[in-house]
Amino acid sequence: MARAVELAYRGRGATAPNPCVGAVLVRDGEVVAEGWHRRYGGPHAERECLADARAGGVDPRGLTMYVTLEPCNHTGKTPPCTEALIEAGVAEVVIGAMDPNPVAAGGASRLRENGVEVSTGVLEPECLDLIADFRLWQKSHSPFNILKMAATLDGKIASRHRTPEPVSCPESFERVHELRSRVGAVVVGGNTFYTDNPSLSCRLRPLPEDFTQPFAVVITSRLPENPEDFTLLRERPERTVFMTTHEAARSRLADALRNRSTSVWPLCGTPGCLNLSLGFERIRYDLGCHYTLIEGGGRLAMQCAAQGLADEIVHFVAPRILGDDRAPAAYSGRGTAAMAEALDLRIIRAERVGRDMMLTMRGERGVPAASGNSGQ
């Protein structure tokens, strides 16, 4: 099952709004075929695994399949996977997590009714983590928001001068661009936009021929007076969105941005206190994005985490110490007086990337914010 989980992650992003799923076929304790759901509309993991078995001359009759999610039992973009497993003669199916979608659920019962031995709950926490995005889409109107942060060992993201310079190693930089390749929008705050003048594009090479750069979303109450000074507004203004106050959205600066085909969305609230939740819902439905990557500074990061809008945190720890109290921190702007008020997270993956550590963490939506909804 651990191998099936590993395979499933390969499809993350491309399968949305479907879940990512992995499957392996086992004979006498040895994996003889593998598959994962590669893209939305394509064959599911079970059918990919059976196809891999056929290509390798492996007869699936009497064998065991491990799959991270309950095989689907309905006809959608593809026929039911239960049907494929029964026809192939698979003797046993081991399931990690049950399908939370009532339309597709019922696969385990269908398999049992047709003589297939079924067991469930193997590595269930890992398999549920695998479909955290899918479960979110089932119950909310928000995209799945991934918060990326890179900091030194003492939690600093830049020097006190805030000049754009790398904190983490080149390998971590490449992993960030892998993340950008999987999301529909990259989100930053106003400080990052004005200080770094970022492009927020994916610079992996080579990029697929049909690849479209993610939207760039800037959360700020201060709109730019000279749009031509900024990379985003020169290179892809039509794929840039500003989320700002109602007052700023009615200004001449907003009109100038719209004349460049840049979107300006008003959000309820005041400067420093915008309703980000509604903004993220617009990202999902107006832009069609199922994933976002939040790459803002410490204040925006803390706001999103405190409001329960950071569904996953990918934090790169560079083995470097700056030691400057005036340097900006990875998470800031929250006036908490006791450790009991800290936001608790759990680590779901930890891996070494170059000389850095990459920690992937999750919390739960609905964590109370310290001081209401706020923007940057």
Active-site residue set: 46
Give the list of residues 6+ apart from residue 54 with CB closer than 8 angstroms, or none.
none
Q: Half-sphere exposure of 198 toward its Cβ, with a 13 Å CA cutoff?
A: 25
CB proximity list for 96: less than 8 A, separation 6 or greater: 1, 4, 5, 66, 67, 68, 69, 120, 121, 122, 123, 124, 126, 127, 130
Q: Whole-angstrom distance between the N-terminal and C-terminal Cα of the chain? A: 43
Do strands 185-189 and 144-152 pair parallel, antiparallel, or not at all (unpaired)? unpaired
CA distance 268 to 279: 9
Q: What sections of the chain are H helices per DSSP?
A: 2-8, 45-55, 81-88, 107-113, 124-130, 132-139, 170-182, 190-196, 231-235, 246-249, 252-259, 276-286, 298-306
Looking up tokens 């059976």 gives 50
Neighbours of 115 (CB within 10 A): 9
DSSP 254-302: HHHHHHTT-EEEEESEETTEE-HHHHHHHHHHHS--SEEEE---HHHHH
